[in-house]
Structure 1
Amino acid sequence: MIPCFFGYISIGFAFGFLLVKSGFPWYLAPLMCIIIYAGAAQFMSIGLLLSGKGPLEIGLAVLLINARHIVYGLSLLERFKPFKKFKKYLIFGLTDETYALLTTLPPPKDSNPEHFDFWITAFNQSYWTIGSTLGALLGSVVTFDAPGLEFALTALFIVLTIEQIKVIKRVGPFLIPIVSIILLNILGIKEDSLILAILLSSIGCFLIGGKE
Structure 2
Amino acid sequence: MQSRSKMLKKAFTTAFPYTIPIFAGFWFLGITYGIYMNVSGFSFWYPMLMSVTIFAGSIEFVTVNMLLGAFNPLQAFVMTLMINARHLFYGISMLDKFRGTGRKKFYLIFGMCDETFSINYTADIPEDVDRGWFMFFVTLLNHFYWFSGATLGGIFGSLINFNTEGLEFVMTAMFVVIFLEQWLKEKDHTSSLIGMGISILCLIACGADNFIIPAMLAILGVLTLMRHPFERKESVESKAGVNEVEDSRSEKKKVELSSFEEGGEVQ
1:34-83 residue CA offsets vs partner (Å, 9 max, x unmatched): 10101111122223333435122112211221111111111111111111
Q: Secondary structure at the match of 1:103?
A: helix
Structure with more of its chain in helix, by fraction: 2
Percent identical: 35
Deviation, 1:208, is 4.3
Q: Does 1:178 align with 2:200?
A: yes
Q: Residue 111 of structure 2 contacts residue 143 of structure 2 at CA under 8 Å; is this kept in 1?
A: yes
Moved more, 170-179 or 15-24: 170-179
Partner residue in 1 for 2:262: none
Partner residue in 1 for 2:173: 155
Q: How many residues align?
A: 208
Partner residue in 1 for 2:111: 93
Higher relative contact order (CA 8 A, sep 6+): 1
The amino acid of 1:102's aligned partner reads N
Matches of 1:176 and 1:30 in 2, distance apart?
38
Partner residue in 1 for 2:139: 121
Moved more, 82-91 or 168-177: 168-177
Q: CA RMSD in A?
A: 2.2
1:43 to 61, 77, 82: 61
Matches of 1:184 and 1:72 in 2, distance apart?
22
Q: Does 1:54 align with 2:98?
A: no
TM-score calculated relative to the size of structure 2:
0.70
Alignment of 1:1-212 (within 5 A): 1-52=19-70, 54-142=72-160, 145-168=163-186, 170=189, 171-185=193-207, 192-212=210-230
Moved more, 141-150 or 172-181: 141-150
Uncovered stretches (5+) of structure 1, i.e. residues with no partner = none
Q: Residue 202 of structure 2 contacts residue 211 of structure 2 at CA under 8 Å; is this kept in 1?
A: no
Q: Structure 1 123/151 Cα, relative in aligned 2: closer, same or farther at 3 Å?
A: same
TM-score calculated relative to the size of structure 1:
0.87
1:159-185 residue CA offsets vs partner (Å, 9 max, x unmatched): 333233333452222332222122212
Q: Residue 17 of structure 1 contacts residue 136 of structure 1 at CA under 8 Å; is this kept in 2?
A: yes
Deviation, 1:86, is 0.6
Q: Structure 1 209/161 Cα, relative in aligned 2: closer, same or farther at 3 Å?
A: same
The amino acid of 1:201's aligned partner reads I
Deviation, 1:115, is 0.7
The amino acid of 1:120's aligned partner reads V
